[in-house]
Structure 1
């Protein structure tokens, strides 16, 4: 009986995570009843997601003249975001998104104003760093809330998977636009323009999202309330495997983000560093849409480790070119697996996360990517300084292969659904 239950559960999981999506599925997801207002407001809220930290760093450097202080302020903001995404997610799973988002948006506004005042007054570095941490903690997590809302708006299947793919692709677009906007606005007469504009977009969008009918109507159902485990969303082995996949993904991105500008600087074209990274993101978005139509491998328990391992191998190619043109072409190839991975992380939460933890689970994905990026940037910086950028790409590939192998050893944790599958769910799947 136990083996029979396990085989039925496995079948349901594979049915649910193996869907491919079409352009019609994307259209159906975005035009479903009640989705228009959350989609539009969340777009505004997430536009500056890759902009706030960089704009703050550039602003502090411009005012203080210190890259060291600016770097610590940026790192503090990153730590705050990593903590805040999980804490806010857990609260939203219990209360729904409206009240938490309204509260943190108000706190975020006050703290951004305090940070700007501290920078303008050239206050103590410690004050600016601590405020940056607080700004990150209160940065409204509209992304996880938006992702969790699709579980209410759409039934499991291809259309919901298309919605998750849309979430990943839109975030990738913002990660392309954000740094460019930050660099543009910091050159305005007032260096804090980027921070202010980004904060206003985030506050307006988050408040608007929180007040939409769909968000206000989202409440945890009685059968979805958490068991009270202190681990929260990380209570299941499958969720810990998704977090590991996200950490590995973030670590490799962090290493690339340091090594590519270093390679451009070494080639005598320091200004090309940001453009090269944007080229990688362009291929990521294009391939991400196509990958959603025919994902490979189909089973999620194979997909996550395979994508991480192949991504690590592609990063090794970045060490081969001796010209920036060659590096550009290699980045186009390597970047093709960015959106497929972020989309797969989001879809994997369907079966990996404990019931009632959808928002917190996505918060853990953000936290894992953020911590991975911090780790990757620190390691890559040391390798670039002591050896050369090509060596950093090889180290990144090695780290990715090790983490991918560890994830492969845990692949069956993504196969078991620790929450169980109800008979009605099974009947719906087989029909």
Structure 2
């Protein structure tokens, strides 16, 4: 991407306003700015947001200019003060999703820009952010995820029976995932194991429950909904933001990571179906009425907002974003438009809502875009593709897989359109 303001011009202008920093002071500024970027990268922020925050943090603390380059596994930054410069590489191994930490770092950066912090004070507060616990505890997160996946069961055409089965299966799966990640099991392995266990539990209950009570359970619906807690929504949204910005390297890397996660989910379901030898019948999905769909979409987006640790004040708006986006998709599809068009306009809705809310609440749009994206995940089509592969019907399976990818791309194009239009009004740093 071209730089809106040249490095030389910025350096010349800044040198007239800022006192020169010693090498030690410049080193401390660089270390503080990099620590901010590290926390954001570890907790799910996209590349553009990290580069901007590191740059603004460094210049707010006294550097004339900060050049920043971010990859999914590290940050390279150079700090300049008059004729002194320091360069450092920060390797980032840890990865997760905690949007409350991302929001806290961005708020700290704004305070630094207002002159409220020294480099030492900023670093101390960054370490406090790094140590802060999640806003939502293990049990609250488990309940929220279970309710969110139960909402998906209804969106996929299920009823109260499917909702209850998924509530139990997804809740147990979330506790298992928390335990495995806490013990540092590889993320892809964790995803496959949890998908296998969640789908196995959902399938078992779906087969046994009708023997105890007169209720019919759709196995395909409960299996699909019970594994959606594993959907890599953060990677999908971040990869879109990176590629729209022109950062193809980071965008492709994140998209590849998302694809591997989806393949791990598919492998877990595949293993369950192969071992159980269960006969799962694919049924036509009957969409719930609009009011029920909106409530379930609100539940799904809000539940994943808790999973992603969205701050309290932003959580209701994140859930509202998901509900409105799903409502747009429902109405356009109900009007007879191609489903890809409906998903595109749903993506536009997410992007527009996220940008408006971010400006209103003075925070990052990711708090709203990522949970808002979740209710649109084409889980039923993706599960149908997995089932076709299990049945060795590779042609039909590939067709369903391609269709699911096209729907995801349609959402991404909608999100990317809003992002591109927003960037037209901004002065680019890099």
Is the shorter-chain TM-score for this pair beyond 0.5, marking a shared fold?
no
Larger gyration radius, structure 1 or structure 2: 2
Q: When the two structures are superposed, what TM-score results if normalisation uses the length of structure 2?
A: 0.29
Structure in which a larger fraction of residues adopt strand: 2
Structure richer in helix, relative to its length: 1
